[in-house]
Amino acid sequence: MENAEVLNNVDYAYVEGSSSSSSSSSSVDENEIYSVYFKGLVREEKANDSEMGGVGIGIGVVICDSMKHMIFESSKAMKSRGDTCRLEARLEALIEGLTGAKQLGIRRLRFFCKSRKLYNYLIDDENAEEGLNMETAEELRMIPTIGRVKSLRAQFEECSPSLVRKDDAEFGRRADNLARKAKFPQVSCPEVISKETCEICMEDTDVVNMLSVHNCTHRCCSSCAKKHIEVKLREGTLPKCPQDGCHSDIKIDKCINVLSPELVEVLNQRVKEAKIPVLDRIYCPHPRCSNLMSKTEVLNYSKSRSNNTENGYGICFKCHGPFCINCKVPWHNEMTCSDYKELHPYSCIEDEMLSSLAKRNSWQQCIKCSHMIELDVGCYHIICRCGHQFCYTCGSEWKENKATCNCPLWDEDRIIY
């Protein structure tokens, strides 16, 4: 018997196991499709008369070639938490099988599931996590494990699931027997925590503190993820995968335990904003509301709730307060927008203070979305988050990526050498 390498998070630790291989990686055919059979069993284990028992997972794995010759088998035991479910145990067995195949140098394989439910989760690798209903704590706990399976599958040229067939029954039974034979030592075993290298900071981190991005296999430590998300939220953008060149979205449920409640609320707002085009976004001007809405939806909602046909009349979905869509202020009854702006150049004291600060620092405001922009370093060609391009010096629009003014592109005082 030999101690097994730990491949899971803090909730699991291998305590004893054995594996054997009748083939070396040099004899593996790179073009052959190999078969992986696996089984994970959950059971109560007794340590000894003086020790408390616990829940354990028995793992059995068999790998064979296309001629039905067995080239690898593994029987291992794991300590686990008390609420581990059968699907989690089977996923751990699959991880053991994929890891064994990778160590043998196998590049193409098919893994066989006896559980149709597990097969349905894994048949579409891109959307495996969407197969979970996310309604139970059991299914929520499976998300990181499915992410690890997905990461391992991506390392093979071909890695697809199949249901066990009649002619595969022999190897399926062999995996079952290996899982049942997995023995726990009759002594207390300290829990082992596995480590993983963060691809951002290159530090070794506990697996339980690693964050998986939703639609890609990239992972980073919770510290790097938190810093990345905070920076992007301060910039007013929706955070993407921190891996260079990857544009996968970061799902809120992936990082809810990493961020503070305040940042989660901001992230929720950014996700909501991202679903509405910049020029179609409207915020309720009533101070106690500030609800984000789509201009198109506001117009349709207002027509269904009121007989007021005046231009720009809108009603908030949330507080039901009337407001002017054009001026973005509470509704100015019997007064045109130009008259209202003349009497009230600033909708609130904060707007007046911002305008004064912008004038002192020569900040520019996008004429399309009204976003205030401060240029620290770089050229004067500005591309706003709404897509509008203009000159930072005079505000003139750029057309077809070309300036329509004669302002210089650079200011030597703004260049850092």
- Residue pair 149/94 in contact (Cβ under 8 Å)? The answer is yes
- Beta strand 108-113 pairing with 70-80: unpaired
Tokens encoding 197: 């290298």
Amino acid at 358: A
159 labelled catalytic: no
- Residue pair 381/389 in contact (Cβ under 8 Å)? The answer is yes
Instruction: State the catalytic residue, choosing from 379, 386, 405, 407.
Output: 379
Q: Which helix (H) or strand (E) holds 153?
A: helix 137-153
Distance (Å) of CA 99 to CA 8, 57, 95, 105: 12, 17, 6, 10
Tokens encoding 275: 């679903």
Closest by Cα among 247, 252, 195 to 216: 247
Helix axes 222-234, 261-274, angle to 10 degrees: 60
Residue 136 CB contacts under 8 Å (≥ 6 apart), including other chains: none
DSSP 3-state assignment of 244?
coil
CA angle in degrees (0–180, nearest 5) for 395-399-400: 145
Known catalytic residues?
Answer: 379
